[in-house]
Amino acid sequence: MDPNLLIDVQNLRVSFRTDEGIITPVEHVNYRIKREKTLGIVGESGSGKSVSTRALIKLLPKNAIVDPESKILFNRGNGTEPLDINLLPAGSKEIRKLRGGEIAMIFQEPMASFSPVYTIGNQIMEAVRTHRLSSNSPLAATSTVGTHISESLKAKYNNVSKKEARSIAVDMLRRVGIANADLRVDQYPHELSGGMRQRAMIAVALSTHPSILIADEPTTALDVTIQAQILELMKELQTELGMSIIFITHDMGVIAQVADEIAVMYLGTIVERGPKEAVINDPLHPYTKGILRAIPKLNNLGARLEAVGGDIPGPHERPTGCPFHPRCPQRITKTCDKLHPERIEKTPEHFVRCFLHL
Amino acid sequence: MLRFILQRFFGLMVTMFFVSIMVFVIMELPPGDYADRYAFRKYSGTGVNVTQGDIENIRRDFGLHKPAWQRYGDWIGGIITKFDFGESFAFETSVNNVIGKRLWLTLAILFCTLVLTYLLAIPIAIYAAIRRHSIADYALTVFSYLGLALPNFLLALLLLYVSVTIFDSSVGGLFSPQYEKAAWSLAKLLDLLKHLVVPAIVLAWSATALQIQTVRATMLDELNKLSVTAARARGIPEWKVLLKYPTRLAINPVVSTIGFDVNRIFSELPIVALVLGLPELGELLIQSYLDLDMYVAGAILLMLTFFIVVMNFISDIALAFLDPRISLQEG
């Protein structure tokens, strides 16, 4: 595996058992995350953005089935074999070590992601004490996943003490730009403002120094000024801590600011993926072109907004062939409605699933 | 927090003041008073002609001639300063002597029932919510609806029958005959607990059924909260996630309804006590009303409401400790 790659998802397919039968909201999904880079995933609600990233830590509802053929390779570095996360059982210790320890996650609703009855500090310290080894332990520097340290040795150098965890929490809150961190640490989520809560949520996620942060619409619930601050903060912390980010959003404007690579999702498939500049300046898929045209332009505010025609179909009425064909202005009859388009590498690293680019 | 407790305590005092007035009004409500009853009992069939003056004298002897507000003052003053609930006319001794023993036994049944209810309902409900739609979940739901549907006296009779025929032990009363008059000892305490089990089961079943439904519903809500997903995403072990996040909040409705549970147990207790032959307060309350023995009735009403109000106070305080959002809003 390319040492620059952190995660390589191959042919991900997630289905759900429901009362009306099995639905498959995510199919044919391939994406890769490079070390210290940001992958932006855009798509409408229901396009499978969250499901396809939550599969990375098996954080899916009980009725979800991840196709055993799918591969989620996690590159642990130092020349070791990549770990196929999909082979690990959902409740296993290895998965728990990945969750929060290596792959951290923040969510859209900062208020709801905290439990209202525990202090911010309590929830940061919980993450720290679950994953981090004491700084005076010789094992602290090494990664907790995949290293060949015996369990007995680990038990000897216990996880961090409460006091140490608290100072890590305060330090972390300070680093995400929360003033009076030593007071804030003992406050409850409802005593913080919306922007501060999202900062605190980032502090929880990053307190364990994960190698990748999954940010599931982290700025959607915030107003534009706070949004800009949070995006700036995430960028700073990314360089500081050297981590990768998966940034999920439905906002093309946000993705243009943060991403190095963009994946455009439609109905559970990545229809186009490539470097940011290529996707924005030279979009290949009709859907990408459509949503880029839909962005309001400052020099033409009086004009009617352009929309991608039609609606996203429900989970039980997935179109045959290319999922986008019923809404596609350039569809080729008898091709697009019959066959599923294969992935085509148009220019290096710029992929598209569309018959127009055969 | 201290301020919150003081506020609630002040509320408790105000409530008890109004309750005492209401209790006194209720004491006065039945037509006639004990003087009439006494005269009737003493002289009926003896051929003695009782005049209005005689009754007036009896009334004076009992202190019933004073105006209502003065009697209220004497009564409540005695309770507050000397913990003296007045005289029982029918038993010709102080009310404290009459209700004392029964009060402790009623409280014993109350606490046994509450403890049993919560020990059963909370773990069962949480298990049912986690294993939602499993056979165990459905079985527990059926079981708890049975508890809601079965009348208490029927259940009491059933358990009485079962314990006599199968276990060959009498569950009626509070003590076995050999301990009835014995001094308190460990053996006697165990005997008491043995006798408390049946009334506690009878009274706890419907309460448990209700609480299971409440806790299970809250737990299901809490399990779907993003904060639970977020805790899982932090890599916290599943059992710890469940105990720390949803369970803690699912207990809130139980804590906030302790007062209601006490209320329900008090209203259901007399019937169960009648079936099982327990000497508790409810039965005495009815008897004292029939005898127009108003100070006994008043003392019992006051004690029962006092426990409900106190349990409500405790549940408020406990809730404030459980949920930090509550005391802040009062602030």
Average pLDDT over residues A125-142: 69
Angstrom CA distances, B216 to A305, B145, B318, stand at 48, 14, 20
Q: What is the CATH number of the domain that holds A126?
A: 3.40.50.300
What confidence score (pLDDT) does residue B329 get? 53
Structural domain includes residue A343: yes
Cα–Cα dist B239/B245, whole Å? 10
pLDDT tier at B327, thresholds 50, 70, 90: low
Domain ranges of chain B: 2-95, 99-330
Which residues, in sequence order, are CB contacts of B204 under 8 Å at separation 6+?
Answer: B113, B116, B117, B120
Average pLDDT over residues A81-87: 90
pLDDT tier at B276, thresholds 50, 70, 90: confident
What confidence score (pLDDT) does residue A14 get? 94
Exposure string of A103-116, with b = 16+ CB inside 10 Å and e = fewer, is bbbbbbbbbbbbbe
Residues 213 through 242 of chain B touching chain A, CB cutoff 8 Å: 225-227, 229-238
- ∠A310-A312-A318 over CA atoms, to 5°? 115
What is the total count of domains within chain A?
A: 2
Query: Residues A55, A47: contact at Cβ < 8 Å?
Result: no
pLDDT for residue A53 is more than 90? yes
- Among residues A153, A174, A209, the one where a domain terminates is A209
pLDDT for residue A319 is more than 60? yes
Burial class (CB in 10 A: 0-12, 13-18, 19+), B67: exposed
Residues in a beta bridge with A246 = A39, A214
Q: What is the token pair recorded at B45?
A: 């069939």
Q: What is the token pair recorded at A30?
A: 């391939």
Which chain A residues are Cβ-neighbours of B230 within 8 angstroms?
Answer: 105, 107, 113-114, 201, 204
Which residues, in sequence order, are CB contacts of A331 under 8 Å at separation 6+?
Answer: A322, A325, A337
As for the ipTM of the complex, it is 0.85
Average pLDDT over residues A91-108: 89
The 3-state secondary structure of A89-131, one letter per residue = CCCCHHHHHHECCCEEEECCCHHHHCCCCCCHHHHHHHHHHHH
pLDDT tier at A73, thresholds 50, 70, 90: very high
- Among residues A209, A231, A256, the one where a domain terminates is A209
Q: Pick the residue with more confidence: A136 or B277?
A: B277
Structural domain range at position A178: 112-209
Structural domain includes residue A272: no
Average pLDDT over residues B188-194: 80
pLDDT tier at A29, thresholds 50, 70, 90: very high
What confidence score (pLDDT) does residue A150 get? 47
Of B233, B238, B325, the CB nearest to A100: B233
CA distance B320 to chain A (A): 11
- The CATH architecture one would assign to domain B99-330 is Orthogonal Bundle (1.10)
Q: For an interface test with A, give the residue of B227, B229, B252 to mutate (most A CBs within 10 A).
A: B227
Q: What is the token pair recorded at A187?
A: 């406050």
pLDDT for residue A263 is more than 90? yes
Helices and strands: H and E segment counts in chain B: 16, 2
pLDDT tier at A221, thresholds 50, 70, 90: confident
CA-based nearest residue in chain B for residue A113:
B227
pLDDT tier at A226, thresholds 50, 70, 90: confident
Tell me, yes or no, if B137 comes closer than 8 A to chain A by beta carbon.
Answer: no
What confidence score (pLDDT) does residue B171 get? 60
Structural domain includes residue A292: yes
pLDDT for residue A339 is more than 70? yes
Express each pLDDT in A247-258 by its tens digit.
999 888 889 889
CA distance B248 to chain A (A): 9
Q: What is the token pair recorded at A297?
A: 């332009």
CA distance B2 to chain A (A): 19
Express each pLDDT in A144-190 by its tens digit.
444 444 454 454 455 788 898 999 999 999 989 899 999 999 999 98
Q: Do A57 and B245 touch (CB under 8 A)?
A: no
pLDDT for residue A300 is more than 80? no
**Closest residue by Cα to residue A172 from A226, A115, A131, A221:** A131
For chain A, list residues whose CB is within 8 angstroms of any CB belonging to chain B: 57, 59, 91, 96-101, 104-105, 107, 109, 112-118, 123, 126-127, 130-131, 188, 190-191, 201, 204-205
pLDDT tier at B172, thresholds 50, 70, 90: low
Average pLDDT over residues A28-44: 93
- Among residues A209, A238, A271, the one where a domain terminates is A209
Of A112, A126, A188, the CB nearest to B234: A126
What confidence score (pLDDT) does residue B143 get? 83
Task: Identify the three-state secondary structure at position A31.
Answer: strand
Average pLDDT of chain A is 87
Which chain A residues are Cβ-neighbours of B229 within 8 angstroms?
Answer: 59, 107, 113
pLDDT for residue A283 is more than 80? yes
Angstrom CA distances, B99 to B189, B207, B286, B292, stand at 20, 26, 13, 16
- A:B CB pairs within 8 Å: 75
What confidence score (pLDDT) does residue A147 get? 46
pLDDT for residue A15 is more than 90? yes
What confidence score (pLDDT) does residue A146 get? 44
Average pLDDT over residues B289-313: 89
Which chain A residues are Cβ-neighbours of B224 within 8 angstroms?
Answer: none
Which chain A residues are Cβ-neighbours of B322 within 8 angstroms?
Answer: 117
Q: Do A115 and B227 touch (CB under 8 A)?
A: yes
Single-letter residue type at A166: R
Q: What is the token pair recorded at A123?
A: 């929830």
Average pLDDT over residues A57-79: 89
Cα–Cα dist B191/B180, whole Å? 10
What confidence score (pLDDT) does residue B170 get? 63
